[in-house]
Structure 1
Amino acid sequence: MRYTLRQLEVFLAVAHHENVSRAARDLNMSQSAASGALKELETQFDIKLFERAGKKLRLNELGRQLWPRAEALLGQARDLESGLQAHQELGRLKVGATLTIGNYLAVNIMARYMAEQPGAQVKLEVANTATIVDRVLAFDLDLGLIEGEINHTDLELLPWREDELVVFCAPDHPLAKQKVLSGDDLLAATWIVRETGSGTRQTFERAMHGLLPGLKLLLELEHTEAIKRAVEAGLGISCLSRVSLREAFRRGSLVPLAVPGRDFSREFYFVLHRQKYRSPGVERWLELCRQSPE
């Protein structure tokens, strides 16, 4: 074999950071050693994998073709190493989850995963749908748990579970006394919503089709808890996942509002890179997610 796994690690680190010195720090190598490993890989096969753009090294077409195959090969190598060291220990897992899923569902799944596999290392990154998708595409995450629908040839989207958004307000809000909200009520209300790029915002905009240009959006916030606090304070009404509102509805600090004729249903999905090796740890995580209660 004319290449080494270390050379591939350097190639992938440089592809990720677009800089040899940062790649070297990431791999705990000297800059000269990292530069030498990359040069040796290119020299051995008489190829060029990067183009220089100012201080950055950007993948050329050949480098982009090699990237997913190198990621898959290294993923299998790491899984083999984990199996040799710990007799099929599930090993490290990097999971991305959107804010609703990360805050209200993923932590319990992570606890079950780590309880049945002592010593397993799980990193959970919580961000909006657009960010999680970008991280999966860049091979920074093993898989993502997302709320929004996406379409990308390099990604596999698997349905997980059903969800729905609920319009809600504070119990002393004028709309709390109404059993049903009309289109005029929705247009007259002041709204506090999730930011663009979130799956919740995507579903909200779809449900509000025809009214969206006329809605009064007072605040756009990235965190569901901040939105709930703002609504409790009487700043307006909002629309979030029922999963995130169950406890507040039980306490009575927030109340649901009926909006007939509008579809607030959606699905949660798993998103995986088609070219990334699916380790036993990933498969077990998917299984635990599917076993989780509704």
Structure 2
Amino acid sequence: MRYTLRQLEVFLAAAHTENITRAAELLAMSQSAASSALKDMEQQFSIQLFDRIGKRLQLNELGRALRPQAEALLEQAKALEQGFRQHNQIGELKVGATLTIGNYIAVDITARFINQYPSARIHLNVANTATITQQVLNFDLDLGLIEGELQHPDLKVSRWREDELQIFCSPEHPLANKSKLNAKDLLAAEWILRESGSGTRQAFDRAMYDLLPDLDIRLELQHTEAIKRAVETGLGIGCLSRVSLQTAFDSGRLIPLNAPDRDFRRSFYFILHRQKYLSEGILRWLDMCKES
């Protein structure tokens, strides 16, 4: 074999940080050792993997093409090493979740996972669908749990579970006592919504497609709890996953509103890079999610 796993580690760290000094720090190496490892590998095969822009390293076309294979190979090597040490240990798992899933579902799954596999080290990153998708594409995350629908040639997207959005308001809002909302009611209301790029907003826009140009969107916020608070104070009405609203409904702080002509059903999805090595930890995490 004409390359080493250490050279692959330097290549991937440099791709991630776009700087050889930061890559060396990430791998606890000297800058000169990291630079030599990358240079030796490129010279060994008479290739160039990066464009050098000052101190910045930017993956070129060849580097981008080889990165997924290098990621997969290094993941398999780590899994093999873990198997040599202790076959029943899970190790590190980097999971991304969109806000509704991360705040109301994934934390419970993480707790159960750690209880069942005490050696596991779970890193849970919560962001919107666009951010989680990009992090999975960049191999910054092992897998993602998302609310939005998407298609990408490098991603494997599979349906996980069903969900439904719910329109809601404060108990003092003029619509609180109305049994059914029609199009006129929806157009007259002021809305507090999630930002574009979120799965929740994507599902809302799809359900309200014919009214979207004329909706009065007063605020767009990135956080579910901020939207709930804004609606509770009377700034407008909102639309979020029922999963995130049930406690507020039970306490009477917020009131569900019925819009029977609107289809707010949607799905949650798993996303993985197509060239991601499916470690034992990833497989067991997916199984636990499906059981939840």
More displaced 10-residue stretch of structure 1: 48-57 or 264-273: 48-57
Residue in structure 2 matched with residue 261 of structure 1 by the alignment: 261
Spell out the pairing of 1:193-272 with structure 2 (5 A cutoff).
193-272=193-272
1:29 deviates by: 1.2
Contact 2:90 2:119 in 1 (8 A): no
Residue in structure 2 matched with residue 288 of structure 1 by the alignment: 288
How many residue pairs match? The answer is 292
1:53 deviates by: 2.8
Mapped to 1, the partners of 2:114 and 2:251 lie a distance apart of 31
Aligned amino acid, residue 171 of structure 2: P
The yes-or-no answer on 1:149 pairing with 2:149 is: yes
Give the TM-score, by structure 2 length.
0.98
Mapped to 2, the partners of 1:242 and 1:196 lie a distance apart of 19
The yes-or-no answer on 1:176 pairing with 2:176 is: yes
Contact 1:79 1:91 in 2 (8 A): no
Residue in structure 2 matched with residue 81 of structure 1 by the alignment: 81
Superposed CA deviations along residues 35-54 of structure 1, whole A, max 9, x for unmatched, are 00000101111111111234
1:56 deviates by: 2.0
Which segments of structure 1 move beyond 4 Å, counting only runs of 4 or more?
none
Mapped to 1, the partners of 2:2 and 2:126 lie a distance apart of 40
Spell out the pairing of 1:1-294 with structure 2 (5 A cutoff).
1-292=1-292
1:28 deviates by: 1.4
SS of residue in 2 equivalent to 1:163:
strand
1:87 deviates by: 2.6
Mapped to 2, the partners of 1:254 and 1:115 lie a distance apart of 34
* Structure 2 gap ranges (5+): none
* Structure 1 gap ranges (5+): none
Contact 2:193 2:201 in 1 (8 A): yes
1:55 deviates by: 3.4
SS of residue in 1 equivalent to 2:276:
coil
SS of residue in 1 equivalent to 2:118:
coil
Identity of aligned residues (%): 66
Contact 1:168 1:237 in 2 (8 A): yes
Mapped to 1, the partners of 2:232 and 2:62 lie a distance apart of 55
Mapped to 1, the partners of 2:87 and 2:237 lie a distance apart of 53
CA RMSD of the aligned region, Å? 0.9
Superposed CA deviations along residues 201-248 of structure 1, whole A, max 9, x for unmatched, are 000111111111111111111110111011111111000000001111
Contact 1:129 1:147 in 2 (8 A): yes
